[in-house]
């Protein structure tokens, strides 16, 4: 197996982008990523997209992307694992390069979510839950995560204010990210007085509907200096796992078993421990998710994720900065693109190019991307080459 490097990283602007379609967003991100390289070809394309058919009426994205990017003839494929689709596409590209099947692999994550109404978007996102049991009985993702929050608060004393502090922190970080959907400073009081969605979750506890794309270029580490214009970032490890899709099938709704298993596999492959990670991008689709994920990743003891954010440890300048990009909460959540964008943030941080949100001299960063309520999860660790 060859060692693999990221040599290019790019994002489109994220938000409600009425004037851009799925192709436009992808091209914007890919052109930015390719501009950071000296590569004169792409050998393979991997697309991460959850449900282009329901959101944009477009499936067969392998052909669409190769065509619109000017790479017709290049082998391409699409990965789908709900909101973890981008992370899984990255894994597929990494595996091809590591195995010697190609030298230059392009990863693009994309979702165009605002071409449909609210009911249609809710239905499309709901396909990542258990259709026969959860959705049939009226459950939505805000409702499912609200149940997780209620139980976590009951078992561990997690507070409403700690949920709010996740949103406040991530919006503060998003102010420093020019590509983020929201550039709005919020207070805990504003979170707690925003509209009810599913008790205890309020509107400002929830990630938004977003249009956007992100892209990465990968190559063998020993070719990185020849093919890249900037310092390469090494892929240290990838861990991947699944869990039951429905909450009612789990032994403990306060545990994200797929995240724990994926993290364990990634840490082992990288020969690292949680304390060796300098920053993390995690899947904060709802504020309770960030709290539970930090526990699953080993950054906090079980039940103490709320205390971790309240202590300031997850802020920029803290012990383990989490979601320096603004996270899904502020940067946005175009579901198929999210996992790729998390890795873009790590690459930018590890190169020391994150501007006002730069973490001091990071050497290893972790990205955690998951589908549904944790039915699938992928953990990737990048490091300074």
| Tokens linked to 3 | 């060692």
CA 42/CA 31 separation, integer angstroms: 12
Active-site option among 46, 152, 240, 333 = 333
Instruction: Say how far apart CA 294 and CA 276 lie, in whole Å.
Output: 14
Distance CA 51, CA 354 (A): 31
Catalytic residue status for 68:
no
Q: Out of 83, 102, 206, 254, which one is annotated catalytic?
A: 83
C-alpha span between 110 and 336 (Å, rounded): 5
Strands 233-242 and 196-198: unpaired
DSSP assigned state of 322: B
Residue 3: count of CB within 10 angstroms of its CB = 15
**Active-site residue 83, yes or no?**
yes
Reduce the DSSP state of residue 47 to 3 states and report it.
strand
Phi, psi of 111 (to 5 degrees): -155, 135
Residue owning tokens 């309240």: 310
Distance CA 89, CA 92 (A): 5
* Active-site amino acid positions: 83, 333
């Amino acid at each position: 197996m060859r060692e693999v490097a990221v040599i290019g990283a790019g994002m489109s602007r994220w938000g409600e982008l009425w004037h851009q379609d799925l192709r436009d967003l992808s091209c914007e991100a890919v052109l930015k990523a390719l501009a950071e390289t000296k590569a004169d070809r792409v050998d393979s394309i991997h697309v991460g997209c959850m449900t282009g058919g329901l959101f944009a009426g477009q499936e067969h994205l392998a052909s669409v992307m190769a065509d619109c990017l000017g790479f017709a003839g290049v082998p391409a494929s699409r990965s789908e694992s709900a909101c973890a689709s981008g992370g899984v596409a990255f894994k597929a590209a990494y595996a091809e390069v590591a195995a010697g099947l190609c030298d230059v692999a392009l990863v693009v994550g994309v979702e165009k979510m605002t071409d449909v109404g609210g009911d249609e978007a809710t239905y499309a996102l709901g396909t990542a839950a258990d259709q026969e049991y959860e959705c049939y009985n009226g459950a939505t993702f805000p409702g499912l995560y609200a149940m997780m929050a209620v139980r976590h608060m009951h078992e561990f004393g997690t507070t409403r204010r700690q949920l709010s502090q996740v949103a406040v922190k991530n919006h503060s970080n998003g102010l420093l990210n020019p590509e983020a959907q929201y550039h709005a400073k919020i207070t805990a009081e504003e979170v707690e007085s925003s509209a009810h969605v599913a008790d205890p979750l309020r509107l400002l506890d929830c990630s938004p509907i977003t249009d956007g794309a992100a892209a990465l270029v990968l190559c063998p580490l020993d070719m990185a200096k020849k093919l890249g214009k900037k310092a390469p970032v090494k892929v240290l490890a990838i861990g991947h796992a699944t869990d039951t899709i429905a909450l009612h099938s789990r032994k403990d709704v306060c545990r994200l078993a797929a995240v724990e298993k994926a993290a364990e596999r990634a840490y082992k492959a990288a020969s690292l421990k949680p304390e060796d990670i300098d920053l993390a991008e995690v899947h904060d689709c709802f504020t309770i998710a960030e709290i539970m994920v930090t526990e699953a990743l080993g950054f906090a003891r079980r039940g103490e994720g709320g205390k971790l954010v309240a202590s300031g440890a997850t802020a920029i300048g803290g012990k383990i900065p989490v979601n320096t990009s603004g996270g899904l909460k502020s940067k946005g959540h175009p579901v198929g693109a999210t996992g790729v964008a998390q890795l873009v943030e790590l690459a930018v941080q590890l190169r020391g190019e994150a501007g006002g949100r730069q973490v001091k001299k990071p050497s290893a960063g972790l990205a955690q991307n998951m589908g549904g309520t944790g039915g699938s999860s992928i953990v990737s660790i990048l490091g300074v080459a």
